[in-house]
Amino acid sequence: MSKELIRLRDLCMAYDDELVLDHLNLYINDKEFLTLLGPSGCGKTTTLRIIGGFTTPLSGDVLFDGVRINDVPPYKRQINTVFQKYALFPHLNVFENVAFGLRMQRRPDPSDPKRKSRLPEEEIRQRVLEMLEAVSLKGFENRRTDALSGGQQQRVAIARALVNRPKVLLLDEPLGALDLKLRKDMQIELKRIQQQVGITFIYVTHDQEEALTMSDTIVVMDKGSIQQIGTPEDIYNEPKNAFVADFIGESNIIDGVMVQDKLVQMYGRQFPCLDGGFSENEPVDVVIRPEDIDIVPVEQGQLTGTVTNVTFKGMQYDIIVDFRGFKWLIQTTDHSPVGARIGIKIDPDGIHVMKKSRYSGLYGDYSSFSDEYDELDAAEVDGDET
């Protein structure tokens, strides 16, 4: 069992009377890779800055190892930060960039505790080399930092932040400046470094795929509130509300009614599912992932609809299907042409039922994918009777 390292208790923050963090409650375990994920402006950086000690919360507590650290300045916290713009020192080589923090350090002299002395050169050398090895930059010691690729510079920035042996590393969109291919490599690399060094990473991103790839735990935020906390699998398979379902992956989100446990009604039809614990006939939001829908002959379909758009994606087709004006995304390896009437089938475990929330009705319709087809179809009368 991992041990709790950081706890945020009822954290609030406001700028100009506007609440940007609304009673945040969260704990982070030792050696955990935790990601704050959410759209721009949802409060990710603000949360990170409060943990790092750069911003003072309006109210609430930050606990480190059970001790309140609200009033502890950043440099006295066992926490280091890698920002998106990881300005390296251009006049120093790789070795000196990483050694910088250690050269600044003073510690009590063993022979005279009242005096403070620098770290011995040999210790600095060893720790820097060890760190460069951890980020796969052994042999780059004497390189100028402007002669490094983006990914290499990023790894220097991480080595520089880790060399002081913090208990926690805060990373604010550290891969934002890199191109897609490099970003993917660095995601795997970062995860490896975190596991090898064995420290806690608190990572900020608005990229859901990045969060799913790297995290032990994902915290989905919107408008200063936590919407859901869970493992990547939890968040993907069991989103708590329409916001989370829409933000993570592709989702068809349909109005439904929970007839009874394990039976949900959509479009007037009843679908067996695995969910329960709702009241009888409770209105709900139903999430169906595009990859969980099977296309079948019309007469075998639980629902029937009309294909309005087909996009070839290499591994599969993205098909937009109109069910009484609400457009679904279906991902399938079978090709169905535009205009075809198709039936669909959904296994009970492909249906996920959620409580209604303030996000109900805002997401889950793929109409904007096929507007151009709508215009073409406008003259036709679609006698869609599902």
Ligand X SMILES: Nc1ncnc2c1ncn2[C@@H]1O[C@H](COP(=O)(O)OP(=O)(O)OP(=O)(O)O)[C@@H](O)[C@H]1O
Between 44 and 77, CB nearer to ligand X: 44
* Angle at 187 (CA atoms; ends 182, 189), nearest 5 degrees: 90
Which pair of tokens denotes residue 27?
């704990």
Find out whether 214 and 175 touch, Cβ atoms under 8 Å: no
Query: Which helix (H) or strand (E) segment is 285 a member of?
Result: strand 282-288
Return the half-sphere exposure (C-beta side, CA atoms, 13 A cut-off) of residue 31.
8
41 lies in the site for ligand X, by CB under 6 A: yes
Residue 56 near ligand X by CB under 6 A = no
Q: Which stretch binds ligand X (CB under 6 A): 34-42, 90-98, 258-266, 299-307?
A: 34-42
Which of 45, 205, 251, 302: binder of Mg ion (CB under 5 A)? Answer: 45
Q: Which stretch binds ligand X (CB under 6 A): 43-51, 106-114, 250-258, 266-274?
A: 43-51
Do 250 and 318 contact (CB within 8 A), yes or no? Answer: no
Per CB under 6 A, 206 contacts ligand X: yes
Residue ranges in 224-243 that form contacts with ligand X under rule CB under 6 A? none
* Tokens, residue 88: 């390296």
Among 11, 33, 44, 363, binds ligand X (CB under 6 A): 44
Pick the closer one to Mg ion by CB: 45 or 360: 45
40 binds, among ligand X, Mg ion, none (CB under 5 to 8 A by kind): ligand X
State the minimum distance, in angstroms, from the CB of residue 365 to ligand X: 25
Give, as ranges, the residues between 3 and 32 that touch ligand X (CB under 6 A). Answer: 15, 20
Stretch that binds ligand X, among 33-41, 57-65, 235-243, 321-329 (CB under 6 A): 33-41
Which residues contact residue 61 at a Cβ distance below 8 angstroms, ignoring those fewer than 6 apart?
A: 7, 8, 9, 10, 11, 68, 70
34 near 214, Cβ under 8 Å?
A: no
Stretch that binds Mg ion, among 23-31, 45-53, 141-149, 186-194 (CB under 5 A): 45-53
Write the CA distances from 97 to 127, 136, 196, 329, integer angstroms. 13, 16, 21, 49
Can you tell me the distance from the alpha carbon of 89 to that of 208, in angstroms, rounded to the nearest whole number? 31
Residue with Cβ nearer ligand X (20 or 161) = 20
- The DSSP result for 126-141, as a single string, is HHHHHHHHHTT-TT-T
How many amino acids of this chain bind ligand X (CB under 6 A)?
Answer: 11
Range in contact with ligand X (rule: CB under 6 A) among 22-30, 37-45, 106-114, 147-155:
37-45
Q: Which does 15 bind (CB under 5 to 8 A by kind): Mg ion, ligand X, none?
A: ligand X
Choose which of 1, 40, 90, 114 interacts with ligand X (CB under 6 A): 40
- Burial (CB < 10 A; 0-12, 13-18, 19+), residue 225, is middle
How do beta strands 168-172 and 79-82 pair? parallel
42 binds, among Mg ion, ligand X, none (CB under 5 to 8 A by kind): ligand X
| Sites of contact with Mg ion (CB under 5 A) | 45
